[in-house]
Chain A
Amino acid sequence: MTAIKQVDLKTLARELLTTGKVEVFIGYQAATQPLTTAPLIIHGALGAGHAQQASNPEAERDLARQVEALIFDDRCEMNLANYLHKFKDRKVAIVVKGCDSRSMVGLLQEKQVDRKDLIIIGAPCRGVIDRRHVGSEIYAACRECPVHNPVIADYVIGAPVPQPDLPEITPEMEALRKASPDHRWERFHKEMSKCILCYACRNLCPACYCKTCFADASKPKWVGRTDDPADAMMFHLQRLMHLGGRCTGCGACVRGCPMQVDLRLYNDHLRSHVKQEYGFMAGMDEAAQPPLAMYGTDDCNEFIR
Chain B
Amino acid sequence: MTKEIRIIPLTDMPAFVGALMQGRKVLAPTRNDDGLCVFAWLSAPEQADWTCGIPRVPPKQALLPRTEVFFRYHREKGKETVSPPPPPEPQAVLGLHPCDVQAVKVLDAVFSAEPSPDQPYLERRAVTTLIGRGFSEDEPLVFCRELGIDPMDNRDCDAFLVPLAANRMALEILTDKGAALKPAYERFPPAGAEDRAAIAEARKLSQARSTPPLDMAAIQRNLETIFNSDLWNRIHEPCVGCGACAFLCPTCHCFDIQEETRGLDGARVRVWDTCQFDLFTRHASGHNPRTSQKERSRQRIMHKFSYGVDRFHIPFCVGCGRCIAACPAHNDVRQILKEIQDLAKAEKP
CB–CB under 8 A between A and B in the complex?
Answer: yes
List chain A positions with a Cβ less than 8 A from chain B: 31-33, 36-41, 49-51, 78, 82-83, 86, 190, 194, 196-200, 202-204, 216, 221, 224-228, 255-260
Cα A51 to Cα B237 with chains together (Å)? 15
Q: How far is the CB of A77 from chain B (nearest CB, A)?
A: 9
Contacts of B67 in A (CB 8 A): 225-228
Closest-by-CB residue of B relative to A31 is B330
Q: How far is the CB of A72 from chain B (nearest CB, A)?
A: 16
Instruction: A38-B238, A216-B278, A225-B256 are known; give 16 further A-B pairs, CB within 8 A.
Output: A32-B324, A32-B330, A32-B332, A32-B334, A33-B325, A83-B237, A86-B293, A199-B242, A202-B242, A203-B240, A224-B271, A225-B271, A226-B258, A227-B65, A255-B328, A256-B328
Q: How far is the CB of B177 from chain A (nearest CB, A)?
A: 27
The reply to whether A203 and B242 form a contact with Cβ atoms under 8 Å apart is: yes
The reply to whether A258 and B326 form a contact with Cβ atoms under 8 Å apart is: yes
Contacts of A41 in B (CB 8 A): 237-238
Closest-by-CB residue of A relative to B237 is A41
Cα A190 to Cα B32 with chains together (Å)? 10
Task: Confirm or deny: B224 has a beta carbon within 8 angstroms of a beta carbon on chain A.
Answer: no
Contacts of B278 in A (CB 8 A): 216
The reply to whether A198 and B33 form a contact with Cβ atoms under 8 Å apart is: no
Contacts of A36 in B (CB 8 A): 330
The reply to whether B230 and A39 form a contact with Cβ atoms under 8 Å apart is: no
Which B190-236 residues have a C-beta within 8 angstroms of A? Answer: 230, 233
Given contacts A226-B66, A258-B244, A78 and B34 within 8 Å (CB-CB): no
Closest-by-CB residue of B relative to A196 is B247
The reply to whether B330 and A260 form a contact with Cβ atoms under 8 Å apart is: no
Contacts of B32 in A (CB 8 A): 194
Q: How far is the CB of B69 from chain A (nearest CB, A)?
A: 10
The reply to whether B243 and A226 form a contact with Cβ atoms under 8 Å apart is: no
Contacts of A40 in B (CB 8 A): 238
Cα A245 to Cα B70 with chains together (Å)? 42
The reply to whether B56 and A259 form a contact with Cβ atoms under 8 Å apart is: yes
Closest-by-CB residue of A relative to B282 is A216
- Partner among B34, B244, B260, B272 whose Cβ is within 8 Å of the Cβ of A224: B260
Cα A202 to Cα B273 with chains together (Å)? 16
Cα A41 to Cα B234 with chains together (Å)? 8
Which B39-63 residues have a C-beta within 8 angstroms of A? Answer: 56-57
Contacts of A199 in B (CB 8 A): 242-243, 277
Closest-by-CB residue of A relative to B279 is A216
Contacts of A259 in B (CB 8 A): 36, 56-57
- Partner among A39, A190, A227 whose Cβ is within 8 Å of the Cβ of B33: A190
Task: Confirm or deny: B248 has a beta carbon within 8 angstroms of a beta carbon on chain A.
Answer: yes
Closest-by-CB residue of A relative to B347 is A51
Cα A225 to Cα B280 with chains together (Å)? 13
Contacts of A260 in B (CB 8 A): 34, 36
Task: Confirm or deny: B134 has a beta carbon within 8 angstroms of a beta carbon on chain A.
Answer: no
9 intermolecular pairs with C-beta atoms under 8 Å apart? A32-B330, A38-B238, A39-B237, A39-B329, A194-B32, A196-B272, A224-B271, A258-B56, A259-B56
The reply to whether B326 and A204 form a contact with Cβ atoms under 8 Å apart is: no
Closest-by-CB residue of B relative to A255 is B328
Which B252-299 residues have a C-beta within 8 angstroms of A? Answer: 256, 258, 260, 269, 271-274, 277-279, 293
The reply to whether B330 and A33 form a contact with Cβ atoms under 8 Å apart is: yes
Cα A51 to Cα B34 with chains together (Å)? 45
Q: How far is the CB of B74 from chain A (nearest CB, A)?
A: 19
Q: How far is the CB of A226 from chain B (nearest CB, A)?
A: 4
Given contacts A32-B334, A198-B243, A204 and B328 within 8 Å (CB-CB): yes
Q: How far is the CB of A18 from chain B (nearest CB, A)?
A: 19
Cα A51 to Cα B248 with chains together (Å)? 34
Closest-by-CB residue of B relative to A262 is B34
Which of B65, B240, B243, B335 has most chain A Cβ within 10 Å? B240
Contacts of B242 in A (CB 8 A): 198-200, 202-204, 256
Contacts of B258 in A (CB 8 A): 221, 224-226
Closest-by-CB residue of B relative to A49 is B233
- Partner among B240, B243, B277, B279 whose Cβ is within 8 Å of the Cβ of A82: B240
Given contacts A190-B33, A198-B242, A260-B34, A226 and B328 within 8 Å (CB-CB): no
The reply to whether B260 and A78 form a contact with Cβ atoms under 8 Å apart is: no
Cα A31 to Cα B238 with chains together (Å)? 12
